[in-house]
A and B are shown apart, each in its own frame.
Chain A
C-alpha cells in the first residue's frame, strides 16, 4: 500500500479540495485500493515527510524537502493538471 500525503498551510481549505479530486482520480485509475490518502497541514508533517511515498502540497515548502513535493495548485486553477497527475503516477510507480 502506497502512502500519499496532501498538505496545505492550514490543513483545512485547499488540501480538502485537492484530496477530493485526487481521491476521484485514484478511483478512475483503479488505484483506490493501492493508495492510502492522508490530509494534513505542513507544520505537522515536516518531521515525517519521508514516511510518505508521494507528497502533494498547495503551499510553500522548505528547500530541503522541495525535491520530494509535487505542486498541487494545478488542481485549484485547472492549469497544468495532466502534468501534475503524470508526476504523481510516476512517483507511485517508483
Chain B
C-alpha cells in the first residue's frame, strides 16, 4: 500500500502553499511518523529549495526535508480543491499551479529508491496525474498507484 489512509487528504481546501504543508505535516506528526519540528523544517526548506514540478496536466509538489526529522518513513498525499502556487524546483522565481502534493517523509533513500522511482514515473503519466486528482478517497488513490505498478512490471 502506498499511503496510510490517515495520510491521504482528498480535495483539501486551502488558500496557500503553507496551509497545504501544515495540513499534511500535521497528519504525519499526529501519526507519530515524524518529529514535531518536521513541519517547521519542511516550511523552511520549501522557501529555500522549492519542490514544485511542472508536470502535466497540472503541477505537482513534493515537499520534504532532512532525514533526521523522520521516525517512520511514509508518503502523504493531498489533492487540492483549487490549485495553489508553488515555486518550481531548480529555477528561481518561476511559479506553477499545483493540484497534487506528495509529502515525502524519508530517511533511507537507498531502501526507498524503488518507491521514489515509481513516483516519478507516475508524475510523467498525464492520465494518471489527472485520475489521481479525481480520486474520491484513500482507497481509490492507492488502487490507482498500484494499478500503474502492475502495468509496469
The smallest beta-carbon distance between A70 and chain B, in angstroms, is 10
Asked whether any CB of chain A lies closer than 8 Å to the CB of B50, the reply is yes
Interface membership of A8, Cβ < 8 A: yes
Q: What is the total of A-B residue contacts with beta carbons within 8 Å?
A: 76
- B50 near A60: Cβ-Cβ < 8 Å: yes
Residue pair A12, B67 in contact (C-beta under 8 Å): yes
Q: Which A residues, 38 to 63, have Cβ-Cβ distances below 8 Å to chain B?
A: 42, 57-60
Among the stretches B5-13, B21-29, B30-38, B85-93, the one at the interface with A is B85-93
Tier of interface size on chain A = 20 to 34
Could you say which of A20, A42, A59, A76 contacts B53, with CB atoms under 8 Å apart? A76
Known pairs A57-B90, A73-B54, A76-B123; list 16 more (Cβ under 8 Å).
A10-B49, A10-B65, A14-B62, A16-B112, A16-B113, A17-B113, A58-B90, A60-B48, A60-B49, A60-B50, A60-B90, A60-B92, A73-B53, A73-B90, A73-B91, A77-B54
